[in-house]
Amino acid sequence: MTEKKVREDLEAATTDRKGIGGLLEFLIRKFRVASFVIALFPLYLVSTFAMAVSIAPGILFFNFMSEISSSWPPVWHYIALGCGVAFGYFFYGITLIFVAPLFNFLLPFRLKPFRGNYYSLSTVPWYFHNALTYLVRYTFLEFVTPTPLNTLFYKMMGMKIGKGSHINTTNISDPCMIEIGDKVTIGGSATLIAHYASQGYLVVDKVKIGNKATIGLKATVFGDVEIGEGAIIAPHEVILPKSRIPEGRR
């Protein structure tokens, strides 16, 4: 007789962790709203500091433009200030592309595959890793996609990208959980996301895309997916979790 698997009570405050970790996870589950709000403070602190460091070169350039143009006629002075703001923004973005991965590297924890309660310590690395990814994605990355800077950023965030691969999208989550082979093409606005929700659980698992595969325009690939060498995912196609796409599939 097959033993029936007991389903975890996702609403319970109990946890299998021991020691301080167990106490913290108990508090997170017992006081969910409060713990969620409190957890945002260190998340926003890290993100704000990363932005502040990245903005500094832009401020320096703006001050330089302001000082050298202070005696110019008003029209030219304001044009100089406009240049200071515009170029300062791009200085910020390019700097952030390097600063965010540095902060991600300095975090005391790493995102790993897991399946569990949304309110748990295992989700903390997931939050921070994606927060730093989205910080770059939503404030600048669109301006350098698809250029080598886009690919370089994702590599520095832990994404494995083979030689000659082309990424024409910023819709990427959990980059450290994604592996792309050689000469892969990721189409415009395609979505690669290495997590999904299932029956109340949060699941984070790897996405593997084989050599010379093509992900079509606006296609979506979820976590726990393997796409074989040379396979083609059609535009707008959705590859659901646990899918295994064979080599050469058209």
Convert the pLDDT of each residue in 87-118 to its tens digit: 999 999 999 999 999 999 999 999 999 998 88
Provide CB contacts within 8 A for 2, sequence distance 6+: none
The CATH number given to 147-250 is: 2.160.10.10
Closest CA to 221 of 202, 247, 249, 245: 245
The torsion angle over the Cα atoms of residues 81, 82, 84 and 90, rounded to 10 degrees, is 170
Q: Which of 18-22, 45-49, 197-201 is predicted least confidently?
A: 18-22
Q: What is the pLDDT of residue 1?
A: 44
Residue 208 main-chain phi, psi, to 5 deg: -125, 125
HEC secondary structure over 183-204: CCEECCCCEEECEEEECCEEEE
- The amino acid occupying position 168 is N
Supply φ then ψ for residue 25, to 5 degrees.
-70, -35
Backbone angles phi, psi at 161, to 5 degrees: -130, 125
**Residue 146 pLDDT greater than 60, yes or no:** yes
- Which of 226, 187, 233, 220 has the alpha carbon at shortest distance from 207? 226
What is the pLDDT, as a whole number, of residue 2? 47
Q: Which residue has the tokens 């910020």?
A: 92
Query: For 8, which DSSP code?
Result: P
Residue 119: what pLDDT? 83
Give residue 118's pLDDT: 82
Residue 117 CA, chain-centre distance (Å), reads: 20
Please say whether the beta carbons of 13 and 120 come within 8 A: no
At residue 245, φ and ψ (nearest 5 deg) are -90, 120
> Rounded mean pLDDT of 37-63?
94
Least confident of 3-7, 18-22, 163-167, 218-222: 3-7
Cα 76 to Cα 73: distance, rounded to the nearest angstrom: 6
Inform me whether the pLDDT recorded for 38 exceeds 50. Answer: yes
62: pLDDT confidence band, cut at 50, 70 and 90?
Answer: very high
